[in-house]
Amino acid sequence: MPPATRSAVVVVGLISGLVLLAIFWVAKEAQRVRRQRDAALAERRRSSVEMVWIPGGKFTMGANDGNADERPIHDVKLPGFWMDRTEVTNEEFLRFVEATGYVTLAERPVIGADFPEVPAERLQPGAITFAPPARVENLSDQTQWWRYTSGANWRHPEGPDSDLNGRDKHPVVQVAWEDAVAYAQWAGKRLPTEAEWEYAARGGLTHSPYVWGSEKLPEGRWMANLWQGMFPVENAGEDGFPGTSPAGSFPPNGYGLFDMAGNVWEWCADWYAGDYYGRSDRENPSGPDRSEDPGEPGVEKRVLRGGAFLSSDMYCRGYRPSARMKTAPDTPMANIGFRCVKDGAAP
Ligand SMILES: [Ca+2]
Ligand SMILES: [Ca+2]
């Protein structure tokens, strides 16, 4: 080969080598930037709610001495899962909203066409607030103490004049079911099934009427944020909290979970059906395919669990671990919040 041709081959070889090196470097650099971006994203999405491991096992779900929908009692087997130690707080929900720009259902404009029978002036975004009357005729008509308040939402739980000052650590309320699901997705978690919720609430106790044991007031002490006094007119606040309390203000249950009784109701993933226990899967059940509330046929409802600061023995013993509650998923209320769970390996 003539020397000129040889030099040309060397030069071409060198250039090709350099080009390959450059491609390799660019690819590596792109990979590094991608990794950095993913890590930053993961950090932003990281929920700050501490989780505890709930070991898998078998438990008896329901109760024979509760409401009809708590029967028949039946054994349920579940794999282990992680669960938020506390209800999701205002501070935590704000992190989600700031990271995503999410707007909750109660903050969105109401579509008038969906409610042709409602006067236009009442079609303002809002939520259901608790307004205790001076006296009540009977306890069967809830509209005596619940009302739709324009401008009520998670930032203004009791209406436009209320705010979250001093309530950073309180559970978020006025969240619809879809708001709870959106938060859970952001946090890389999910809502618990009803079976997971009850299993976790029992904290390893069997057939226990309360999440903390068999005695309602051990040594005279309130073990959960509930209602004391004549519901709904007299809120005695003997447990120290007439409204919501900072998450984790009462002793935890056997699994280290706080407020599995009281403070706020917690959304579960399942549809509600009053007769579900008669046909439920015995292994890791995920609820019925469709909702069925015999008390309000035609209205689809999701399960809520655990009772709230408004739970009173006079009216609603929903704070018992077996007690079931149901609400339309698009109904944010002043006593409804949530916590999440996550699948994963045991610690
Ligand atoms: Ca209370
Ligand atoms: Ca609760």
- Domain positions in the chain are 47-342
Q: What is the dihedral of CA 167, 83, 263, 150, to 10 degrees?
A: 60
Instruction: For residues 146 and 143, give the distance between their C-alpha atoms in angstroms, rounded to a whole number.
Output: 5
DSSP assignment letter at 98 = H
Mean pLDDT of 82-97: 98
Q: How far is the CA of 307 from the centre of ligand 2 (A)?
A: 6
pLDDT score at 104 = 98
DSSP assignment letter at 171 = B
For residue 200, what pLDDT band results from cuts at 50, 70 and 90? very high
Q: How far is the CA of 343 from the centre of ligand 1 (A)?
A: 33
For residue 30, what pLDDT band results from cuts at 50, 70 and 90? confident
- Please tell me which residue, 47 or 66, carries the higher pLDDT value: 66
Mean pLDDT of 94-120: 87
Name the nearest CA neighbour of 212 among 59, 319, 339, 73.
Answer: 319
pLDDT exceeding 70 applies to what percent of the chain?
93
Q: How far is the CA of 244 from the centre of ligand 2 (A)?
A: 10
Q: How far is the CA of 270 from the centre of ligand 1 (A)?
A: 28
Q: Which residues surround ligand 2, an ion (CB under 5 A)?
A: 259, 263, 306
22, pLDDT greater than 80: no
Mean pLDDT of 31-47: 68
Instruction: For residues 322 and 336, give the distance between their C-alpha atoms in angstroms, rounded to a whole number.
Output: 18
pLDDT score at 46 = 66
Q: Does domain 47-342 have CATH number 3.90.1580.10?
A: yes
For residue 41, what pLDDT band results from cuts at 50, 70 and 90? low
Instruction: For residues 132 and 128, give the distance between their C-alpha atoms in angstroms, rounded to a whole number.
Output: 13
Q: Sign (positive/negative) of CA torsion 114, 118, 119, 125? A: negative
pLDDT tens track for 263-307: 999 999 999 999 999 999 999 999 999 999 999 999 999 999 999
Q: How far is the CA of 111 from the centre of ligand 1 (A)?
A: 36
173, pLDDT greater than 60: yes
DSSP assignment letter at 331 = -
Q: How far is the CA of 116 from the centre of ligand 2 (A)?
A: 36
Peptide bond into 232 cis (omega under 30): yes
Give the helix, strand, coil percentages of the chain, each rounded to 5.
25, 15, 55
| Alpha carbon separation from 255 to 34, 81, 82, 236 (Å, rounded) | 39, 12, 11, 30
Mean pLDDT of 1-20: 70
- Please tell me which residue, 39 or 108, carries the higher pLDDT value: 108
Q: How far is the CA of 41 from the centre of ligand 1 (A)?
A: 39
**CB-CB contact of 235 with 229 (8 Å):** yes
Q: What is the dihedral of CA 56, 57, 62, 65, to 10 degrees?
A: -130
Q: How many C-beta neighbours within 10 Å does residue 171 have?
A: 31
Which range has the worst mean pLDDT, 10-24, 62-76, 274-288? 10-24
Mean pLDDT of 170-190: 98
Class of residue 114 by CB neighbours under 10 A (exposed 0-12, middle 13-18, buried 19+): exposed
87, pLDDT greater than 80: yes
pLDDT score at 29 = 84
pLDDT score at 316 = 81
Instruction: For residues 152 and 154, give the distance between their C-alpha atoms in angstroms, rounded to a whole number.
Output: 7
CA 4 to chain centre: 76
Instruction: For residues 265 and 17, give the distance between their C-alpha atoms in angstroms, rounded to a whole number.
Output: 66
Q: How far is the CA of 65 from the centre of ligand 1 (A)?
A: 25
Q: How far is the CA of 332 from the centre of ligand 2 (A)?
A: 15
For residue 27, what pLDDT band results from cuts at 50, 70 and 90? confident
pLDDT score at 5 = 66
Q: Give the ligand at the shortest distance from the Cα of 335.
A: 2
Q: What is the mean pLDDT of the chain?
A: 92
Mean pLDDT of 233-261: 97
Q: How far is the CA of 244 from the centre of ligand 1 (A)?
A: 7
Q: How far is the CA of 89 from the centre of ligand 2 (A)?
A: 11
Q: How far is the CA of 261 from the centre of ligand 2 (A)?
A: 5
Name the nearest CA neighbour of 302 among 278, 286, 284, 281.
Answer: 286
Q: How far is the CA of 228 from the centre of ligand 1 (A)?
A: 7
Buried/exposed 229-268: b ≥16 CB within 10 Å, e otherwise: eebbeebeeebebebbbbbbbbebbbbebbbbbbbbbbbb
Which range has the worst mean pLDDT, 57-71, 117-131, 214-228, 301-315? 117-131
Q: How far is the CA of 97 from the centre of ligand 1 (A)?
A: 28
Q: Which residues contact 305 (CB under 8 A, 6 or more apart)?
A: 194, 197, 198, 201, 265, 266, 268, 323, 324, 325
